[in-house]
Structure 1
């Protein structure tokens, strides 16, 4: 299994009244990760949409452990903990510049056929493209 790792910047508009990164920013950072993952597996969002496939979120959960502040360095990681016929569970971890875990989360995503608005099952090739990012002990069929 491999994790997709990406660095994030913190901007002044992401800081809340308490002086640290607002909790909603993590959801934005998760979206960046999902887009990067789709690109890594050869299914960039603009291509998927042209093919009538829309990735849709059905669940998000985040556990905040430590705050991040303006000037902190942030590293994010994403991988899959489950891969089903038309959905996947993505796991995220966020670390500060000292490599201390500051938050972790998960999101469940579903691929939908844009014409029918019904779940769209992965083709064997699409499924295979996600396998490098899947935790091998959690393969579900």
Structure 2
């Protein structure tokens, strides 16, 4: 079962702004986690479920690219999707846009690993995870706003 992308909208707040007057770089990384969490909750396999299953997905690698600045008051679309999965890892992509003009502000990716919560040791993805965390349908372009 292939999936689509997931959007979360937010408005840039004063606390997101750095001394240069635009969104601070580390805020984008926090937004990556925020939209990923919202997405897994929407997929029906979120943090609450991790605790019951006794294993979880943890970030092991991030890649980020800052493309344009965002400013206080801008409405931002945080878009994410899964683009690959295997026995040990899932791979998530991000594209953040300014809602007013769909300008691409940021792109990123995260490699997530499955671990046993009690030990922190790597664990093969359970069928529950594999079923819920399916890659984006190849016919869907997450950068297309039409």
**TM-score tier (shorter):** 0.7 to 0.9
Any idea what the Cα deviations from partners look like across 1:17-62, whole Å, max 9, x if unmatched? Answer: 0000000000111011111121122111022123211321111111
Moved more, 38-47 or 70-79: 38-47
For 2:57 and 2:131, locate their aligned partners in 1 and report how far apart those are by CA, in whole Å.
17
Specify which structure has the higher proportion of helix: 1
SS of the aligned residue for 1:112 comes to strand
1:101 to 97, 104, 120: 104
TM-score (norm 2): 0.85
Q: Distance in 2 between matches of 1:136 and 1:129?
A: 17
Report how many residues are paired.
136
Matching residue of 2:75:
73
Alignment-derived partner of residue 91 in structure 2: 89
Over the aligned positions, Cα root-mean-square deviation in angstroms equals 1.7
**2-structure distance, mates of 1:81, 1:120:** 20
Q: 1:124 aligns with which of 112, 127, 138?
A: 127
Cα distance between partner residues in 2 of 1:37 and 1:72: 22
Aligned equivalent of 2:21, options 19, 22, 39: 19
SS of equivalent to 2:133: helix
Q: Which runs of 5+ in 2 are unaligned?
A: 140-146
What secondary structure, in the 3-state scheme, does the structure 1 residue paired with 2:9 have?
strand
Moved more, 108-117 or 121-130: 121-130
Candidates 109, 113, 117, aligned match of 1:110: 113
Residue in 1 aligned with 2:144?
A: none
TM-score (normalised: structure 1) = 0.88
